[in-house]
Structure 1
């Protein structure tokens, strides 16, 4: 047996925060050394931060990252460490690289071969993909180092790299490394969170270790690094098709080390049974170095999921934990002193209030309230507080702003929720402000504004009048104003610009309303981890979603204004994510909702969705930053770009109408009149 103790390191970084990032990396290295780790892999672009965007074009950023690297190297005595940074070579191209350091000596730089360029990722904008089988050199300071597609031979232990996206393709670099007899593959990643994505990562880590006959070390960033993407801190080590360890996700710690003991001779035994194509054994791609691997005792190890990952409500758990962590990082990294929320008593604002409460409770579970307060040491008002509820009262200010169209039910819903989580709760009546604005315009127009002639305008002025008071509170408290629109509303523009869209950040703009309502019921009755419930959600969970902007006798509901939320969600998925035409979407929803909704409802919904989607792209362009949590995101800055001006699907909607009319009387339910 040749046993080696290895580790996957997880860090919470900030773009271009040189001292912060360097300190996290050094602390992670020191922690690994204290645990007698010989090989430590740290995440992709961990020196600069992954989300530097167009600053990757900056010459200064590349130079600063090299300087940080040189300041990290002296801390690698007695350990082999992989850290990642951008490098610019003599061809004036920038590459996403991983640097391997052994005992205070830089061995070389491996360049990423496959760049992520879908959805939230735009790596080909900043980086050049490296060509497999090519080696070059780069000078840093007084020394020249190899760079490119490299295999490191460290005292007979062969170490190679797959950098994040490299492992997500079929013809992955690990295949070539396998042909060269690699023992250990390191995968430094910056893989954004989305629902169930950890399962995919686990498969390619285990499959890679089995197919290539290696030990595979995978690590990821953690936290809300740069505003929109959330990283879950996934860390795994597998060997010969067996997952040895899996680290905790969504940690509030600055760094985590996940360790395992691997047997190099065991993986080599599996490789002896595989025929090697000698044509792939490029001797010029090997980098040799010496390292004294210490003796390690055998251990029994088997990866186990965290307690909450066994549950059937994994999506609900992931949503709660991901957004709570993202809110915490956004708060502390922006140096804000808390949150302000216009709490209407409806599902959207109630979900956000609950998430802020969960932010504190999850932090308490992860690192404890003392460490939580230390991370927010600049907020003096919370330092002497002892409970989650007390801290919530200091960090979250809510305000209910009623008009004559607001009901007693929504007020009681808002008040009871705020009381149950400990949030500060204010109640003001803005009816006089609405009447003042309305009167000013009526005087200029020379006519009264009525619901028959000015419905949308009278609804919107109520939503807009709420924004100044909320902004005023946010400014007074140096706090973040939380916008309350969800993804379903963003898709069809069912939101008042400068009203409910007003805010510094929009926590739920990446999730649909249909899912959100179910999540609120789960949070009330089941709770995070089966224990952390928000019982103050009972009243909102018994309400029908409504904007409460029309007179109460109109009995306004969101779904009557728009369409059933489950139908809206399905249309968005087929039409926007899958890029199907209106006619094809209609064919899909007829199958999905057969015997649930009549054909007229489905046709009207599809037609309305595409018209509203096209008309309201300008609203999506103006939304506050939102968190990316799945692949149906409609944020044009991270996932789905669409022209502000377009044809509005005129031809396609005409084809939809022809399809529906042509299928009348063919056994389908529901008559549609034109």
Structure 2
């Protein structure tokens, strides 16, 4: 049986850390060589990190990336490697360097440049035109980059038509919940349609608001999983590919010739031999490794932990501080932070007011004890009374309203920022997606912070994450009282969130339809929701765009997150919700 041993290096690059990225790449080359791999692959733009954004406009950044690639090339004695980098010709290209035995053999330029959602590659790169087939240990291999594999008649099809038995895609595929399912269905379909083995090497790690989940995977010619790496962890996945199985499948069901199919790119007809020796069949067989995919809540939770850890560590912060309210949002943020950073790096601040329930401090202290987090308590009462006294003349004759509520939130924001300045702790914002969407937040108050872990997590999912973490802990890490109490900002007597918002189990599906699915008010109401409620939610979302522009960055875990994914103008007169009988309510 003819075999090709392939290694997929699922690494966590950091944008601009050329020294660190090269070290990661070289270490994995050495591990792949020791494992007897014929070929080792690294993710898209593994050398400079992904996405570099406007660093690509700096010539010095491009030159540093090319120098770093030279160091990688020198480390490839006795092995073939495919490494993502930025190629500079007359223009810039998102490229894969094909390297063998200490020399650069060829460069592949990414053909399909995504320009939607979080992607804007057409801002920086030129598109490639060709997708050659290479001979690696006697096996025809087609290399391509990320978006290229998503096209049904793209480079993979062209390469298979030209004789590629293995299609290797290097990728930086950003995570959102459930994405791996349809990504794997697509990859399996590419393997079946092209009668080829498909290998997908994905990046892992956090980069600003993006998280990359890894889960590198290989499919055989029948679309079955050969191997899969773990999600959200660095790993070198090594597998033996049955190349004879490809030939047998093609004898039964030949790949249609290129001329019979309309392809999105051309393929160089000649085969470029990298190393001519035949793939070895005499090696000790490898144990099959197919990591099990995580359940939904576990998957989201691990994404948030990884995104938090990388944001804090890669940016060099000493630790974090969180305002602990005894509510579900601050509880899950603190829990994630401890799992990401360790309890010594997490600090809690309890800030009771005249409207705080005694249970709030009790739950906050119980959570902190469960997590091993040190807390301090500073009452906001004295500062709040000072504000009221200072404003009493100006506010004379005007009834109290949301203004007095927001003063309390802003005092808390000031206290958190004071401790942040003094001790070098980054403030972790505790706002969830439901609140961010509707503007149920206070500018310069509970919106204060350097990083918003659950910014893209709907409130109903926050509860499920707490329940998941309690199950995995084997006890109520997040106290049951936190999960059972009615949500409240506690900024006025007897206040609940539902005084101002629909219940979250009603609000979140409406937000999903309006924000993520771009459904109209009319379409959402046709699904059985009260039209007046839908209009109110839509109005709150539209009226809060200016606030979201001032919010800290946060981790993307849904298909459409606020910010990079969803970009609406602040100044905008388009209104789907029309006129409502009641006056609009906004929380500044």
Under a length normalisation based on structure 1, what TM-score does the superposition of the two structures give?
0.81
Q: How far apart, CA to CA, are the structure 1 residues paired with 2:316 and 2:476?
A: 27
Deviation for aligned residue 1:234: 1.5
2:167 alignment counterpart: 185
Q: How far apart, CA to CA, are the structure 2 residues paired with 1:38 and 1:304?
A: 20
2:428 to 466, 479, 482: 482
Deviations 1:614-656 (A, max 9, x none): 22101110110010101142x22x111111122251x6525x9
Q: How far apart, CA to CA, are the structure 1 residues paired with 2:324 and 2:238?
A: 44
1:287 to 238, 256, 272: 272
1:500 alignment counterpart: 446
CA distance 1:514–1:275, change in 2 (3 Å): closer
Matching of residue 617 in structure 1 with residue 545 in structure 2: yes
Q: In structure 2, list runs of 5 or more residues that go unmatched.
A: 261-265, 582-588
Cα pair 1:567 1:589 within 8 Å, conserved = no
Q: How far apart, CA to CA, are the structure 1 residues paired with 2:199 and 2:567?
A: 35
CA distance 1:209–1:275, change in 2 (3 Å): closer
1:401 alignment counterpart: 351
Q: How far apart, CA to CA, are the structure 2 residues paired with 1:48 and 1:283?
A: 28
2:485 to 531, 537, 543: 543
Larger displacement relative to structure 2 (270-279 or 471-480) = 270-279
1:30-109 equivalence runs, <5 A: 30-90=30-90, 93-109=91-107
1:107-122 equivalence runs, <5 A: 107-122=105-120
Cα pair 2:42 2:83 within 8 Å, conserved = yes
Q: How far apart, CA to CA, are the structure 2 residues paired with 1:243 and 1:189?
A: 18
SS of equivalent to 2:116 = coil
CA distance 1:647–1:154, change in 2 (3 Å): same
CA distance 1:169–1:447, change in 2 (3 Å): same
Deviations 1:108-157 (A, max 9, x none): 111111122221222222222223xxxxxxxxxxxxxxxx4221123532
Cα pair 2:131 2:268 within 8 Å, conserved = no
1:418 alignment counterpart: 368
1:351 alignment counterpart: 332
1:327-338 equivalence runs, <5 A: 327-338=308-319
Cα pair 1:341 1:481 within 8 Å, conserved = yes
Deviation for aligned residue 1:470: 1.0
Cα pair 1:228 1:625 within 8 Å, conserved = yes
SS of equivalent to 2:452 = coil
SS of equivalent to 1:544 = coil
Q: How far apart, CA to CA, are the structure 2 residues paired with 1:521 and 1:326?
A: 20
CA distance 1:285–1:345, change in 2 (3 Å): farther
Cα pair 2:538 2:577 within 8 Å, conserved = no
Q: How far apart, CA to CA, are the structure 1 residues paired with 2:267 and 2:379?
A: 75
Larger displacement relative to structure 2 (21-30 or 466-475) = 466-475
Cα pair 2:322 2:348 within 8 Å, conserved = yes
Under a length normalisation based on structure 2, what TM-score does the superposition of the two structures give?
0.93
CA distance 1:536–1:585, change in 2 (3 Å): closer
1:661 alignment counterpart: none
Cα pair 1:412 1:539 within 8 Å, conserved = no
CA distance 1:429–1:278, change in 2 (3 Å): closer
Cα pair 2:131 2:267 within 8 Å, conserved = no
Higher helix share: 1
CA distance 1:351–1:16, change in 2 (3 Å): same
RMSD of aligned C-alpha atoms? 2.1
2:224 alignment counterpart: 242
Deviations 1:175-217 (A, max 9, x none): 1111101021111000011111112222233332232222222
Deviation for aligned residue 1:345: 0.7
CA distance 1:238–1:323, change in 2 (3 Å): same
Q: How far apart, CA to CA, are the structure 1 residues paired with 2:269 and 2:188?
A: 29
1:647 to 542, 552, 573: 573
